[in-house]
Amino acid sequence: MITRRQFLANAAVGTATLLVWPKLTFAATGSDTRFLFVLLRGGLDGLESVPPYGDPGYQAIRGALALSPSAARPAHRLDNVFALHPSFDYAAQLYAQGQFMPVVAAAPPYWGRSHFQAQNCVENGTSKPDGAQTGWLNRCIACMPGVDGLACAAVMPLTMRGPAKVETWSPPLPTEVNPILLQRLQPLYAADARLAAPFARAIAQQTDSPVPESGTGMMAKGGSGQKKQGGLPVMMDAAGGFMGKSDGTRVAFVEDDGWDTHANEAAIVTRKIAELDAGLKAFRQSIGPMWQRTVLIVATEFGRTAHINGTGGTDHGTGGSMFLAGGALRGGHVTGRWPGIGSGELYQNRDVHATTDFRSVFKGVLATHLGVSALALESRVFPGSAGAAPMENLVDTMRAEPDRTRA
């Protein structure tokens, strides 16, 4: 029989263990959480994706690009100030269920206007471009013994480079080639005696070819088994398939490009946000019941200018939007401090003034959802980030614990 003194001693050891390795608190309660980071390369316009229609300066500064719940194609109303772009149909449904959350006026520590430097800063996790040769997400995985990572990308992205084991996956190349392209290539290949015959055979073999499997055995299909179009929905569908298994990938990364909108922004953003929205739906369906234990963060390297340029677009800016989603999210509201876009409120008289450091959002999720200790976050994952305090109340820990009984 165990004595009271032995019980207290064992309890003390157990408590100390959980404080040193907080991830064990999740294992002890039967939780097996998932985290996905989605990076949109090019700079998504925060004023277009999460229009602050209730801000007195919004309509005047945005003109033809202004969106609102009362427009001909209405934006999805979130509260008295903010809405979601009309293409965010599925995201709006998740928001109503408390499983989607926009973060406004957010930016990485780098406030410059270079795509490459901004993306490097977002991925390396320090306060400046080239501040580290490894990525914060890889360093996070390295703090979780026994956990591997997955990058859904053709080339290993910086954020996943480092000491931790990370695999890559990309969809198989399409088996069909645009016939117009073939028409244009045919005269060039026909003029080359060595390439003419192989080119002709390749054309003859193009029709009715099966979709090849990737190295991991997953095809470029959705969870329903139906072939999907390429791009972000396929990548997020694949990520969900890998992460949805009982012993599946716990930490993954997906990227997408084409978010730069110097001209004709309305059409581009409408199309790209529809793709992101479809990607959220594909991921939700593909990951299945594991959705309840999942949080994903969508970020881009910077926002856009508040004013429209002469070609119906916007240029590189500062404060933009982030998005969180997942069954374990404490969502259903807009977070981040809104600085306003009226006279004297813009950064350098042109951009939304950033009030939230990306790292605060990342740290808030990694600490609560993945159980990464505060010490590891400050010293290893985001070194030199003491000024970026973890954002609180992002994760509903009870949702992430389906085996536990709610009080």
| 169-181 mean pLDDT | 72
Q: Helix or strand or coil: residue 342?
A: coil
Burial 308-331 (b: 16+ CB within 10 A, else e): beeebbbbbbbbbbbbbbbbbbbb
Portion of the chain with pLDDT greater than 90, in percent: 73
Q: What is the mean pLDDT of the chain?
A: 85
Cα–Cα distance, 50 to 84 (Å, whole number)? 5
Cα–Cα distance, 355 to 332 (Å, whole number)? 20
pLDDT at 131 over 50: yes
In contact, 79 and 104? CB cutoff 8 Å: no
Cα–Cα distance, 35 to 329 (Å, whole number)? 11
Q: Helix or strand or coil: residue 39?
A: strand
Question: Phi first, then psi: what are they for 180, rounded to 5°?
Answer: -65, -40
Q: Global pTM?
A: 0.81
The string of pLDDT tens digits covering residues 269-299 is 999 999 999 999 999 999 999 999 999 999 9
- Which domains does the chain show, CATH number per domain? 25-175+222-381 (3.40.720)
The string of pLDDT tens digits covering residues 186-215 is 788 878 877 777 777 666 655 443 333 333
> What string of DSSP letters covers 160-220?
G-SSS-EEEE-PPPPS---HHHHHHHHHHHHT-TTTHHHHHHHHHTTTTPPPPP-TTS--S
Please list, in sequence order, all residues whose beta carbon lies within 8 angstroms of the beta carbon of residue 339, skipping any fewer than 6 positions away.
Answer: 105, 319, 345, 352, 353, 355
Angle at 342 between CA 339 and CA 348, to 5 degrees: 75
